[in-house]
Amino acid sequence: MTTFDFTPLFRSTIGFDRLAGLVEDAMRSDVAGSAFPPYNIEKRNADSYRITLAVAGYGEDDLAVESKENAVIVTGRRKPEGNEVTYLHRGIAEGDFKRTFQLADYVRVAGATFDRGLLHIDLVRELPESMKPRRIDIKASPMEKITAKAKKMIEGATSAA
């Protein structure tokens, strides 16, 4: 596994330490994590996203979605059925899982729905008013006003002569 040293980045930037942690976590989870459950991440519009997990065999009571700090944590715990079954082939996963998705600043969970074996988690980016672009009015400086008055006086004097 390739490792990266982010020390030079920390020497010349301020406030990006979370980014390095996210990269390290992503690299660690890709190697150590399983592919279950499969999922999609959709960008629905400029400020709306959806995570969809394929959780066949799990019921609503078996799933939990938790929003914590800048992450969404999805866990699945199936209750044992109690009857002993002899499988000739077992291709449907039924173990417990925990999947974590890191969220950017100002992204929050808007809701979650469960439909036909798919768990949908809707996310929305809501920038605070102070972060939204705004138009700044440009005002004339006091010196500019004096210069404009003087210019009008000179133009008035030359047209009267």
Q: Residue 67 CB: number of other CB atoms within 10 A?
A: 15
The SS3 of residue 54 is strand
Express each pLDDT in 99-142 by its tens digit. Answer: 999 998 899 999 999 999 999 999 999 988 887 788 888 887 77
Q: Residue 49 is part of which domain span?
A: 35-160
Domain shared by 23 and 48, yes or no: no
Give the whole-angstrom CA distance, residue 113 versus residue 121.
Answer: 7
- Are the C-beta atoms of residues 123 and 51 closer than 8 Å to each other? yes
Q: Which residues, at least 6 apart from 41, have a Cβ–Cβ distance to it below 8 Å?
A: 49, 50, 51, 52, 101
Domain shared by 74 and 142, yes or no: yes
> What integer pLDDT is reported at residue 149 of this predicted model?
72
Residue 45 pairs in a beta bridge with 48
Domain shared by 85 and 126, yes or no: yes
Number of domains comprising the chain: 2
CATH number of the domain within which 119 lies: 2.60.40.790
Domain shared by 93 and 112, yes or no: yes
Domain shared by 84 and 112, yes or no: yes
